[in-house]
Every structure is written in C-alpha cells, then in structure tokens.
Amino acid sequence: MKDHFSFDQRLGIFLPNLTVDWEQHSKDTQQDILFHWEQIRGSIPDRIVDLEDQINHKQAELSDESDFIRSCQLNKEIAELASIINDLWLWYRANQTLSTKAHH
C-alpha cells in the first residue's frame, strides 16, 4: 500500500499517489487501495478539529497581542491553517465518489 500513498507534510495525511491508471490495477488491489483510503479519509475530520483548535489558540493569542509584527505573523499562520482545512475538506468530499465505489 505504501506505493499507492505518499505523506503530505502540509496536510498531515497520506494522499493517493497512483502512478498507473486505475483500471490497470487488479480488483483486489483496487479494493485494498479503496479500503486504505477510506481509513485515511475517516481521519480527516479529526485532523480538521485539531487544526481548528490551533486556529482558536492563535486567535486568542492574537486578541491579546499588541506587537504589530507578531499580529501579522499570527494572521498569516491562521490563514495557512484555514487553507489546510479547506484543502482537507476538498480531499474528503472529492473522494466520496471514489470511496462509494469500494462498497459496490
């Protein structure tokens, strides 16, 4: 399975990394890939909750911050975390169709 997924440092999850067309994989391999993806996909909401907690912490820190440079840095970090959350939701939703195929 490691050949079919690679760790995305930014998102903090493994993503599909298929180097050949889907149809070239055996049905068993397809099922294994889909099963593994379902496990990863199921962890995405928990990853998002963790990132939201980080955002909340940074927003609380920002509300007490008087240093302009530090405020800008916190805003940048919050924006990056929000961007990661957005990308995670895209992966979660975009692959629902693929995940549904695993059950047919």
Instruction: Tell me the pLDDT tens digit for each residue of 39-65.
Output: 999 999 999 999 999 999 999 999 999
Mean pLDDT of 82-88: 98
Q: What is the reported pLDDT for 14? A: 95
Average pLDDT over residues 56-77: 96
Q: How far apart are alpha carbons 90 and 81 in whole angstroms?
A: 14
Q: Is 64 left (phi over 0), alpha (psi -120 to 50) or beta?
A: alpha
Q: What is the dihedral of CA 63, 10, 40, 29, to 10 degrees?
A: 170
pLDDT at residue 102 is higher than 60: no
Tokens 């240093």 belong to 67
Mean of the per-residue pLDDT values of the chain: 89
pTM, to two decimals: 0.84
Looking at residue 97, its pLDDT comes to 52
